[in-house]
């Protein structure tokens, strides 16, 4: 790039949980941007990068921000995770224990808003546009920066597929693909021991990662955060499924955020909350499996049926992206550059009804994206509800 061709500086960051598809998105943005005449910076560790930059030319800021080249992004572009690393940092709510050393004397409250520092750091680095890639938590702070005058073009990422405004978030397809594959692997053990297989999957508020694999035939039943279910009723259905199966097993997918009647709140693996106020979920599958075993004699002529309980967890997060999560991030990255080249910002790149588009960035904080239970979930049969696939989006169930 020559001085005469230089158009400005674009910064990229990835926040929240890792998913396959982040590196292909970073690669697509960087290569296109460089060829269009932009300089590209990558913030490391999500929003922790911008708050840790020291505004001194003599200070080495590379632990928190690096200049991206084609050579750098090509090395990781086809792999999972994010080579820029990630975090759940929220610059508007930074605790003293997480305060950058050079800001400790300036910000002394228990929780501090470092947005003024972020804005000054962007100016110091000469950033013209910011492309955050993340879920609704990460992007909600992107909305805040946009309201502060930063030119933001955002890309949705989360395996839960619950960012409002888009039918598809990076990571979702690989999560569904991996879930189906892992469930099929566990079937042999469930069948060998004639058990009920209870599998916990991601999904704090939305049950897409449980509902879609079930629709694809991975499970007999699924329970989702949008519907508080009755354990005894679920047990009856699973016992019927198991006893009608020649291999004598049944499968239930359980969203991590699912709750059942008599259960006070979601099941947390520990009580500490992250910067966005979320406690770490986990364990509802194991709790539910115990309850199911307790109820099985009632529906199985007095005989107890044992279970296999498995939390898929990071097995669906790690590893390489599938085809969808290799193609969509490439398209999203180029869509972001299309907008920037037109001088457009304050937008979220999206997929809607099978077509690439963009939406106002504020849609991220305007609503929550949940499954429309009345339209897509059979609360009596505890499984997906569908009547016709005509004119439906690729993933059928895409929004509330």
- For 224, the domain range is 173-318+373-384
Asked if 165 and 183 sit in the same domain, the reply is no
Q: Is the residue at 270 inside a domain?
A: yes
Average pLDDT over residues 79-93: 95
| Tally of structural domains, the chain | 2
154-201 pLDDT tens trace: 999 999 999 999 999 999 999 999 999 999 999 999 999 999 999 999
The share of the chain scoring above pLDDT 90, in percent, equals 88
The CATH number for 34's domain is: 3.40.50.450
Q: What angle (nearest 5°) sits at the alpha carbon of residue 84, between those of residues 332 and 341?
A: 35
The radius of gyration computed from the CA coordinates of the chain, to the nearest angstrom, equals 23
Q: How confident is the model at residue 391 (pLDDT cuts 50, 70, 90)?
A: confident
275 versus 34: which is more confidently predicted? 34
What pLDDT is recorded for position 3? Answer: 55
The CATH number for 281's domain is: 3.40.50.460
Average pLDDT over residues 3-21: 91
Rounded Cα distance, 118 and 43, in Å? 12
Asked if 246 and 307 sit in the same domain, the reply is yes
Catalytic residue chosen out of the listed positions 160, 162, 167, 325? 160
Rounded Cα distance, 123 and 101, in Å? 21
Asked if 31 and 164 sit in the same domain, the reply is yes
Catalytic-residue membership of 241: no
29-76 pLDDT tens trace: 999 999 999 999 999 999 999 999 999 999 999 999 999 999 999 988
Average pLDDT over residues 336-354: 96
Asked if 151 and 177 sit in the same domain, the reply is no
Q: Indicate if the pLDDT at residue 276 is higher than 50.
A: no
Beta bridge pairs of residue 250 = 196
Can you tell me which residue has the tokens 């560790």? 45
Asked if 120 and 214 sit in the same domain, the reply is no
Q: How confident is the model at residue 2 (pLDDT cuts 50, 70, 90)?
A: low
Asked if 193 and 234 sit in the same domain, the reply is yes
Asked if 138 and 78 sit in the same domain, the reply is yes
Average pLDDT, the chain: 93
Q: Are 369 and 400 in contact (CB under 8 A)?
A: yes
């Amino acid at each position: 790039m020559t001085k005469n061709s230089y158009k400005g500086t674009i910064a990229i960051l990835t926040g929240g949980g890792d998913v396959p598809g982040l590196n292909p998105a970073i690669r697509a943005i960087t290569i296109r941007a460089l060829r269009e005449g932009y300089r590209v910076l990558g913030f490391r560790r999500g929003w922790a990068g911008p708050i840790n930059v020291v505004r001194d030319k003599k200070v080495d800021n590379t632990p928190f921000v690096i200049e991206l080249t084609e050579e750098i992004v090509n090395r990781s572009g086809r792999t999972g995770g994010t080579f820029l690393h990630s975090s759940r940092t929220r610059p508007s709510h930074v605790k003293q224990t997480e305060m950058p050393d050079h800001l400790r004397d300036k910000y002394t409250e228990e929780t501090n808003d470092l947005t003024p520092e972020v804005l000054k750091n962007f100016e110091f680095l000469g950033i013209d546009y910011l492309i955050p890639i993340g879920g609704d938590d990460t992007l909600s702070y992107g909305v805040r920066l946009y309201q502060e005058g930063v030119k933001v073009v955002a890309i949705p990422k989360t395996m839960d597929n619950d960012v409002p405004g888009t039918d598809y978030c990076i990571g979702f397809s690989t999560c569904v693909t991996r879930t189906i594959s892992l469930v099929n692997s566990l079937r042999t053990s469930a069948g060998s021991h004639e058990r009920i297989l209870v599998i916990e999957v991601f999904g704090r508020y939305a049950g897409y990662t449980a509902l879609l694999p079930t629709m694809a035939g991975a499970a007999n039943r699924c329970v989702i955060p949008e519907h508080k279910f009755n354990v005894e009723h679920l047990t009856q259905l699973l016992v019927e499924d198991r006893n009608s199966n020649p291999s004598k097993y049944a499968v239930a997918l359980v969203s991590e955020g699912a709750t059942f009647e008599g259960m006070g709140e979601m099941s947390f693996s520990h009580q500490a909350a992250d910067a966005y106020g979320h406690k770490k979920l986990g364990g509802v599958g194991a709790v539910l499996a115990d309850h199911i075993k307790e109820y099985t004699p009632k529906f199985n002529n007095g005989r107890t049926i044992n279970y296999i309980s498995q939390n898929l967890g990071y097995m669906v997060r790690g590893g390489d992206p599938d085809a969808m999560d290799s193609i969509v991030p490439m398209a999203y990255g180029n869509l972001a550059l299309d907008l920037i080249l037109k001088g457009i910002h304050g937008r979220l790149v999206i997929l809607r009804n099978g077509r690439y588009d963009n939406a106002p960035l504020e849609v991220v904080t305007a609503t929550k994206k949940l499954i429309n239970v009345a339209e897509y979930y059979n609360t009596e049969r505890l499984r997906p509800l569908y009547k016709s696939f005509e004119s439906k989006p690729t993933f059928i169930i895409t929004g509330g």
